[in-house]
Amino acid sequence: MSGLSPKQLGFDVSGNQDVTQAHGPGILDDIQWGTWRTILLDTAIELDVFSALYGGPKTLDDLGRELKCAPAALAALLDALCGQRLLGKQDGRYRLSDAASAFLARQSPAATPDYYRSPASRTAARGGVAEIIRHGDRRLAIAEPSDAKNALMTWRQSLAASFSGIWARLGLNEFVTGPQHRLLDLGCGAGIRTLMLPSRLKHLRMQLVDRKSAIEVAENIARQLGIADRVDFAASEIEDFTPERDAYDTIFLGSVINYFGPEAANELLRRLFRSLRNGGRLVLFGPLADDARCSETLPLLLDFQFYVTTPDGRVYTPAELFGHLGEAGFIRKKFIPPMLIEARKPDLRQD
Ligand SMILES: C[S@@+](CC[C@H](N)C(=O)[O-])C[C@H]1O[C@@H](n2cnc3c(N)ncnc32)[C@H](O)[C@@H]1O
Rounded to an integer, what distance in angstroms lies between the CA atom of residue 213 and that of residue 172? 29
Please list, in sequence order, all residues whose beta carbon lies within 8 angstroms of the beta carbon of residue 255, skipping any fewer than 6 positions away. 187, 285, 286, 287
> Which of 278, 230, 238, 234 is closest to 257 using CA atoms?
238
Stretches where the chain sits below pLDDT 70 are 1-26, 28-29, 120-127, 144-162, 173-178
Peptide bond into 113 cis (omega under 30): no
Going from the C-alpha of 246 to that of each of 129, 147, 170, 272, 289, the distances in angstroms are 43, 37, 21, 9, 31
220-250 pLDDT, tens digit each: 889 988 899 999 999 999 999 999 999 999 9
Residue type, 29: D
Hey, what domains does the chain have and what are their CATH numbers? Answer: 19-24+147-297+311-344 (3.40.50.150), 30-140 (1.10.10.10)
Q: What is the whole-number distance in angstroms between the Cα of residue 279 and the centre of ligand 1?
A: 26
Tell me the whole-structure pTM to 2 decimals.
Answer: 0.88
Indicate the top mutation candidate among 211, 236, 239 to test ligand 1's pocket, ranked by most ligand atoms within 8 A of CB: 211
> 302 in helix, strand or coil?
helix
> Which residue has a Cα nearest atom 1 of ligand 1?
255
The pLDDT of residue 76: 98
Residue nearest to atom 23 of ligand 1 (CA): 187
**Which pLDDT does position 155 carry in this prediction?**
47
Rounded distance from Cα 210 to ligand 1 centre (Å): 6
Identify which of 32, 159, 252, 256 to mutate to test ligand 1's pocket (most ligand atoms within 8 A of the CB). 256
pLDDT of 282 = 98
| CA nearest neighbour of 139 among 327, 325, 311 | 311
Measured in Å, residue 310 CA sits from the centre of ligand 1 at 13
For ligand 1, mutation pick of 162, 207, 210 (most atoms within 8 Å of CB): 210
